[in-house]
Chain A
Amino acid sequence: MKLDRRFLLRGTCQGALAVMGLPFLDCFLDNKGQALAATGKRIPTRFNTFFYGLGLTKSLWVPKGAGRNYETTEQLKPLEAFKQKMNVFSGSRVMIDDNPNFQHWSGVGASATGMSPSKNGQFDSKTIDQTIADVISRGARFKSIAAACAGDPKQSYSSLGGPNNLPAEASPLSLYTRLFGSGFQDPSRTDWKPNPEIMLQQSVLSVVAEDRKRVTQRLGASDQARLDQYFTSVRESEQQIAAELKRPDIEAKVEIPTAPEEMTVNSALPNMRKVLPLMARLGALALATDQTRVFNLSISEPGSQMFVPGDPLGYHQSTHEEPLDPVLAYQPRVARYNVYSMELFAAFLKELDAIQEGDGTLLDHSLVYGFTDVAFAKIHALDGIPVLIAGSASGRMKTGHHIVGEGSPVSRVGLTVQKAMGLSVDSWGGGSMETKSPYTELMA
C-alpha cells in the first residue's frame, strides 16, 4: 500500500483541526506514538541512558533562570550545541527513608528505579530502561544493550531487580561483535532472505525452554526465582531469533563499519576519549538499524575512578581529598573532572544526532536519560542530584527547559520520561519518592 502524506496526517493526528495545533513532528506519529519516515516506514522512539559517576559542582552547573531561555552554565557548556534538544533538572531530592545512605549507590538506585535501594550495589526493582524496554522493544532483536566505556562489564546500571545487573559490553570490539556479528540482518541489503541455520537454532531453544516442564526437583523460593530468570532469558533469546528471521522493517541510511581493533579500555581519560565515540557510534547504528531500541552507556563506576595521567589522586580521591578553594568555594580539580564527564556526554549525543532519519535525527527520535550517583561527591550528598535529559522522544517531550525541582523527588523526572516514552503509567517509585506528578509542562 502506498501512503501519501495527507493520509498520514489524518491517520495519525485524527483530523485537520488537531493537526493545526500540534508541533510539526507530532503529525508524523502513528496511533502508537511511533514516528514515520516519509516513505511510511516506522521510526521507533528509542531510549538511552548515560551514566557518569560523582555528579557535578552545584555552583557551576545549575542554571540561574528557570524554564526556557535559561543561561548556559560553565559545566553545561560542553552540551551547549544540544541546549534546544535537552532538559536540565536541578533541585531534585533523593529520600532514603529507613535505608542507609549507601555511598555512591543510593543516588544511582533512586535515579534508576525511583526508590532508595535497601542493599548496597543492588537495585530493588527493575531499572527504568528495562521498564521502558518491556513496552517499546517488542520486535527489536535485542531488548536492550549496555556498554561500559571504562572497560568493566559490571559498570552497568541496567537490571531486572535483585543481584543480577545486565552485564555491559566492555570494549568497542565486543560491542560490535554482539550487534553486528553473527545474526545481524542489514536492513539496507536488497537481497535479504532468512538464514536457514537460524531456524534450526530456534528448535534448539524450544527444547531448552521446554526443560522448564521437566524440572522434577522441588526448589525454594529464591532458587525458583533464579530458575525463572534463566527461562525468561531463554525466552528473550527466542524472540531475538524470531527478529533475526524477519526482514528488517526499517529504513536506515547508514553504513555499518568494519570491526574496530582491540584497544586499551580503562579509566584513563585519554583512552575514554577514544573509546566513547566508538561505542556511542556503534550504539547509534544499532538503534538506527533497529537491532535494539534501548541503549545504555556508562563511563564509570559510581565513585568514578577516571583519572588524568599524571594526577596521583584521580577523580574519586580528588572529590574527598581536594580542599574547597577558599576564594572559589568549590574544588577546582574536581570541577575539571565534572566537565570531562559532560564532554563525554556531549560526544554521545553528537553520535545520536549525526544520524538522519525521516525529518529529524536519531536523537530527535530518542530520549537520553543522563544520571549520576551523588549531588556533592565530597560528602556523598544526594539533595540536588543532577538529571539531564536529551532528545524529544519523537516530539512527545518539549525540550530546551531548565526545570527547578525545589526539592521534588528525583522520581518525578523518571515518571515524566516514561510518559514521554508512551508508557501508560500513573505513578513511579517507592517509599517517599513514589510520585504521581510528572512535569506536565514538558509533555507535548
Chain B
Amino acid sequence: MRKGISVAILTAGILAGVGQLPAMAAGGEVVSMRRLTEQEYRNSIGDIFGKDIVVQGVFEPGKRIGGLIEASAAILSVTPVGFDSYSKMADSIAVQATSEKARDRLISCKPGSASQPDDACAAQTFNHYGRMLFRRPLTSDELQSRVKLAANMTKASGSFYTGLRYGLASLLQSSNFLFRVEVAVPRDNGYTLDAYSRAARLSYLFWNTTPDAELLKAAQTNALDTSAGIATQVDRLMASPRLDTGMRAFFSDMLQLDNFDNVSKDSLLYPKWSVQLAAAAREETLRTAITLALHENGDMRELMTTPKTYINRNLAAIYGVPFDFDADWVPLTFTPQQGRSGIVTQISMLSMFSHPGRSSPTERGVALMDIFLCEPTPTPPANVDFSAVNNTDGPLKTVRERLMAHATNPACASCHTHSDPIGLSLEGFDTIGRPRSTENGKLIDVSATIQGKSFVGAQGLGRFLHDNPKYPACVARKLYSYAKGVDSEDVKAREFKAATKAFGDSGYRMRSLLKDMTQSDEFFHAEPPLAAAKTTKLASQ
C-alpha cells in the first residue's frame, strides 16, 4: 500500500513537467494533418530508436496532386489495410526497442523489479519517446493511459519490459505519430503555426525526419516564435550533411522518381533493362541534383544543361561508355557529341515517361512541362480516333509525322502544340534512354518550336528550359508546396514571391531559396478552416 502511494506521487511529479501544451492554446486549430510518407516514417524511427531497428511492412501509397505526392499526405487517411500494417510495425519496433539487447541503450531508467510494474520508470520512458514521436509533449491523459496499460500488461505477462513494449506500441500506432498534426494559433490579424508545428515543418523539410532534441527545445522555449530564433535553427539545419536527406526527398518527389516503382520494359525488345538499372538511374538523378544544389552550391538552371553526371556499371552500358573502375559510382562528363543535356536526358527521365516497348514524345512532353515549368496539360478529349495517325505500317513512319497529323484536328492541336515539341526534341533517345538516329528506318528529326522559340534536339531543349524564367519559378513553387503540403496549382505566386526573387538574385542557388523561403512570414502562415468558416458566416450576417 505504501509503495503504491509513493509511485503515485512520483508519477504525479513527472506529469507536472508535461506543462501546458501550445496545441491547447486558446483559439488553436488543426490546419493540416499530414500522413507520414514511408521515408519520413523510416527516418523518424531510425532517429528516435536507432538505425539498427528493422522497419518491415507495407506503407499505404500516396497520390500525386499538383505534381507532388507530399500534397496528398494532407488529404489521405489511414485505411484498415494501412492501419493493420502500421499496427504490426509498431509492435515490431516496440519489441526491438525493449529487447534485452537494446534496453540499456534506449530505456534510461531501471525498474524496481523486472517483473513488477514501475509507473515512474514507465512514465519517464513514455514521456521521452512520446515527445519525440508526437513531436510535442504528451498530454497528461495520453501519458496516464499508457502508464496504466504498461502496468496491466506487466501484471499479465510478468515482465516490466513487456509492459513497456505495449505502451510504446500504442504510441507508435497513434494518429498523433502517423499524422504530422499542424496546429495554428491566432497572431496579429491572422493565424500562424504554433512552435511545435514549426519545429516539425522545418525538420521534415530540411532533414525529412522528426525534430531532434534541439528543435524540440527551441519550440519549448518559444525560440521558434521569433525570426532570430528561426534563423538560428534554419542555419543549423542547413549546415548539417543531413540536408542531403531532406533535399533527396524533395527532388525525388518533384522529379516523380517514385514512378520507377512501376516502370516495366519489354524484356524481349530491351533485355538490358532490369530492376538494378532502374534503381541506378534513380540514384544517378538524385546524385546529380544534390551535388549541384548542395555540394557545389551551383546555379540550379544548370540541372537542365550540365554535361556532368554519375554512373555505375549498369548505367555505363546504356550510355555506351566504358566502365573500368573499382568504385561503384564514378563521375562522368559527356562530350557535346553525345547529345546529353542535364537530367533531361538521363535514363530516369527518358524511361519513366515512355511505353514499355516504345518512346513516347507525348508522355515525355507532358511530364517535363508539368515537372519543370509547372504547366500541366489538360486531358485529351475522350472520343478521339488516333488510329489514322498512329499506324506505323502506313505512310507516317516516325512519331513526329504521326503526331503532326494531330495538328489537323483543332481539338487535338491546342494541347499537342503545347507538350509535343519537348518530347519530339528527345526522340534521339529510345524508351530506355539509349541514343538512336532512326525510327522505322527513317532519320529522326529532333527540331522543335515551342512558345515561339525554335531549337534542335535535347541540348536545344536543355538550353530552352535553362533560359526559361518559368523553370526557376516552378522550382520555387514546388518547394513551397512541398514544405506546406498543399496543391501547387492552388498556391498563389505572391506567397513565395520574395523567395523567388531571392533565388534569382543569388544566381539560382538552392540554399538561398531554402533559407529565404523558410524565413518568410508566409511560410508559417495558415488559414484555419473553422476560423475561416466563422468569418464567412459573420460577413454574410
Residues of chain A within 8 A (CB-CB) of B483 are none
Residues of chain A within 8 A (CB-CB) of B149 are 203-204, 207
Residues of chain A within 8 A (CB-CB) of B530 are 218-220
How far, in Å, is A226 (CB) from chain B's closest CB? 4
| Contact of A28 with B by CB under 8 A | no
Find out whether the CB atom of B84 lies under 8 angstroms from the CB atom of A312: no
> Using an 8 Å CB-CB cutoff, how does the interface string of A139-176 with B read, 1 for contact, 0 for none?
00001001000011110000010011111010000100
Residues of chain B within 8 A (CB-CB) of A381 are 383
Contact of A312 among B145, B264, B358 (CB under 8 A): B358
Question: For the complex, what is the distance from the CA of A201 to the CA of B72, rounded to whole Å?
Answer: 31
Find out whether the CB atom of B385 lies under 8 angstroms from the CB atom of A207: no
| Contact of A322 with B by CB under 8 A | yes
How far, in Å, is B185 (CB) from chain A's closest CB? 11
Question: For the complex, what is the distance from the CA of A113 to the CA of B83, rounded to whole Å?
Answer: 24
| Contact of A261 with B by CB under 8 A | no
> Using an 8 Å CB-CB cutoff, how does the interface string of B225-269 with A read, 1 for contact, 0 for none?
000000000000000000000000000000000000110101111
> Using an 8 Å CB-CB cutoff, how does the interface string of A223-247 with B read, 1 for contact, 0 for none?
1011101111110110010000000
Question: For the complex, what is the distance from the CA of A312 to the CA of B357, rounded to whole Å?
Answer: 4
| Contact of B153 with A by CB under 8 A | yes
| Contact of B30 with A by CB under 8 A | yes
How far, in Å, is B38 (CB) from chain A's closest CB? 12
| Contact of A25 with B by CB under 8 A | no
* Also in contact, A217 and B269, with CB within 8 A (given A201-B91, A208-B170, A267-B264): no
How far, in Å, is B381 (CB) from chain A's closest CB? 9
Stretch at the interface among A187-195, A303-311, A434-442: A303-311
* Also in contact, A233 and B78, with CB within 8 A (given A220-B30, A267-B356): yes
Residues of chain B within 8 A (CB-CB) of A329 are none
Find out whether the CB atom of A200 lies under 8 angstroms from the CB atom of B153: yes
Find out whether the CB atom of A229 lies under 8 angstroms from the CB atom of B390: no
| Contact of A205 with B by CB under 8 A | yes
How far, in Å, is B41 (CB) from chain A's closest CB? 15
Residues of chain A within 8 A (CB-CB) of B145 are 207, 210-211, 214
* Also in contact, A237 and B385, with CB within 8 A (given A223-B33, A232-B80): no
- Closest B residue to A159 by beta carbon equals B79
| Contact of A313 with B by CB under 8 A | yes
| Contact of B12 with A by CB under 8 A | no
Residues of chain A within 8 A (CB-CB) of B63 are 121, 154, 163
Residues of chain B within 8 A (CB-CB) of A311 are 266, 357
> Using an 8 Å CB-CB cutoff, how does the interface string of B292-320 with A read, 1 for contact, 0 for none?
00000000000000000000000000000
Find out whether the CB atom of A312 lies under 8 angstroms from the CB atom of B529: no
| Contact of A37 with B by CB under 8 A | no
| Contact of B498 with A by CB under 8 A | no
| Contact of A328 with B by CB under 8 A | no
> Using an 8 Å CB-CB cutoff, how does the interface string of B148-164 with A read, 1 for contact, 0 for none?
01001100110000000
Find out whether the CB atom of A200 lies under 8 angstroms from the CB atom of B268: no
> Using an 8 Å CB-CB cutoff, how does the interface string of A302-335 with B read, 1 for contact, 0 for none?
0001010111111001001111100000010000
* Also in contact, A217 and B87, with CB within 8 A (given A167-B81, A208-B173, A312-B266): no
Question: For the complex, what is the distance from the CA of A268 to the CA of B273, rounded to whole Å?
Answer: 14
Find out whether the CB atom of B139 lies under 8 angstroms from the CB atom of A323: no
Tally of contacts, chain A with chain B, CB under 8 A: 204
Give the contact-size bracket for chain A: 35 or more
| Contact of B111 with A by CB under 8 A | no
| Contact of A17 with B by CB under 8 A | no
Contact of A321 among B84, B142, B386 (CB under 8 A): B386
Residues of chain A within 8 A (CB-CB) of B384 are 379
| Contact of B528 with A by CB under 8 A | yes
Within 8 A of B (CB), among A103-160: 103, 120-121, 143, 146, 151-154, 160
Find out whether the CB atom of A320 lies under 8 angstroms from the CB atom of B387: yes
Residues of chain B within 8 A (CB-CB) of A160 are 79
Residues of chain A within 8 A (CB-CB) of B391 are 321-323
Residues of chain B within 8 A (CB-CB) of A396 are none
| Contact of B206 with A by CB under 8 A | no
- Closest A residue to B148 by beta carbon equals A207
Contact of B178 among A153, A230, A310, A314 (CB under 8 A): A230
| Contact of B199 with A by CB under 8 A | no
- Closest B residue to A211 by beta carbon equals B174
Stretch at the interface among B21-29, B114-122, B216-224, B408-416: B21-29
Residues of chain B within 8 A (CB-CB) of A211 are 142, 145, 174-176
| Contact of B169 with A by CB under 8 A | yes
Question: For the complex, what is the distance from the CA of A167 to the CA of B384, rounded to whole Å?
Answer: 32
Residues of chain B within 8 A (CB-CB) of A226 are 33, 75-77
Find out whether the CB atom of A204 lies under 8 angstroms from the CB atom of B77: no
Contact of A309 among B146, B153, B261, B266 (CB under 8 A): B266
How far, in Å, is B274 (CB) from chain A's closest CB? 10
Within 8 A of A (CB), among B41-69: 58, 60-61, 63
How far, in Å, is B266 (CB) from chain A's closest CB? 5
Find out whether the CB atom of A174 lies under 8 angstroms from the CB atom of B91: no
| Contact of B382 with A by CB under 8 A | yes
Contact of B382 among A101, A232, A236, A266 (CB under 8 A): A101
Question: For the complex, what is the distance from the CA of A203 to the CA of B156, rounded to whole Å?
Answer: 11
For the complex of A and B, list the 4 residue pairs with the smallest distance between their C-beta atoms, beginning with the closest. Answer: A220-B529, A312-B357, A321-B390, A233-B83
- Could you list some 18 contacts between A and B, CB below 8 A? A121-B63, A146-B81, A151-B262, A200-B157, A204-B166, A204-B170, A211-B145, A214-B139, A214-B142, A216-B21, A221-B529, A222-B75, A223-B30, A223-B32, A233-B79, A320-B386, A322-B390, A322-B391
Q: Which residues of B contact A (CB under 8 A)?
A: 21, 23-24, 28-33, 58, 60-61, 63, 72, 75-84, 87-88, 91, 139, 141-142, 145-146, 149, 152-153, 156-157, 166, 169-170, 173-176, 178-179, 181, 183, 261-262, 264, 266-269, 355-358, 379-380, 382-388, 390-391, 528-530, 533
With A152-B261, A226-B75, A229-B79 already in contact, 4 other A-B pairs whose C-beta atoms are closer than 8 Å: A218-B30, A230-B179, A268-B356, A323-B391
